[in-house]
Amino acid sequence: MDGQLILSDLVAGDGGAQGEMGILTLPNVITTIRLLLIPVYLWLLFGRQQYGWAGLLLGTLGATDFLDGQLARRLGQVSTLGKVLDPVADRILVVTAVISVAWVGAVPWWFAGATLAREVLVSGATLLLASMGAARIDVLFIGKAGTFALMTAYPFFLFGHGPGAFHAVFEVAAWVIGLVGLTLAWIAAASYVGPARAALRDGRKGRQSPRPD
């Protein structure tokens, strides 16, 4: 979930040879594995009520969300499928994590709602800008930091919810990291208003520019 904000991937619209890569690439395989492990996480959480193992798997899935995108760029395996699959997997993971952790009572619904509202706002703005032909928007570091903090906090909430000598420590850490992450995430969302306007303006200029003969 580049974290969180996938504006640069969805709005970019990069074409060329990279967009024509095949389906079976290493980044796409990693993204698919991450998607397939989400039901395993849900089984550990609801089926086995193993909050610790569920939190560990959730933390691993969150910590590796950058891996597929980084590999795609470093290995030159950016594909059209990957540009769609990666952000979709991130969004599914975030929504699943937030709702499931709140459902078991490990985090209050107001916190989960604030997290989901931000995701809905960002995803909606991303799709809207893409449909309007906006130019590429670079991801802000504050957005990455906020998403990373949130995806660290939610597994910690699970650790703190289960029995154990250190559950209180994890719960305190989850609140500290989570509140910081949520604040940064919303600040980042507001910070994209200016760049989004500029990207939309640049995209429109690009479409209106005369094509060379």
Model confidence pLDDT, tens digit, residues 138-167:
778 888 889 889 999 999 999 998 766 778
Give yes or no for a contact between 9 and 137, defined as CB atoms under 8 angstroms apart: no
Mean pLDDT over 82-98 rounds to: 83
Mean pLDDT over 124-146 rounds to: 81
Reported confidence tier of residue 48, pLDDT bands at 50, 70, 90: very high
Helix/strand/coil for 2? strand
pLDDT of residue 17: 41
Dihedral sign of CA atoms 150, 154, 160, 166 in order: negative
User: Is 134 a residue whose pLDDT tops 90?
Assistant: no
How far, in Å, CA of 105 to CA of 210, rounded? 58
pLDDT of residue 197: 84
pLDDT of residue 156: 96
How far, in Å, CA of 108 to CA of 30, rounded? 32
pLDDT of residue 139: 75
Mean pLDDT over 75-100 rounds to: 80
Reported confidence tier of residue 122, pLDDT bands at 50, 70, 90: confident
CATH of 7-202, one of 1.20.120.1760, 3.30.70.330, 1.10.760.10, 3.40.50.720: 1.20.120.1760
pLDDT of residue 11: 39
pTM over 0.85: no
Give yes or no for a contact between 40 and 34, defined as CB atoms under 8 angstroms apart: no
Q: What are the helix (H) ranges across the chain?
A: 7-10, 26-42, 51-63, 67-74, 80-103, 109-131, 141-161, 167-191, 193-208
- Mean pLDDT score across all residues of the chain: 81
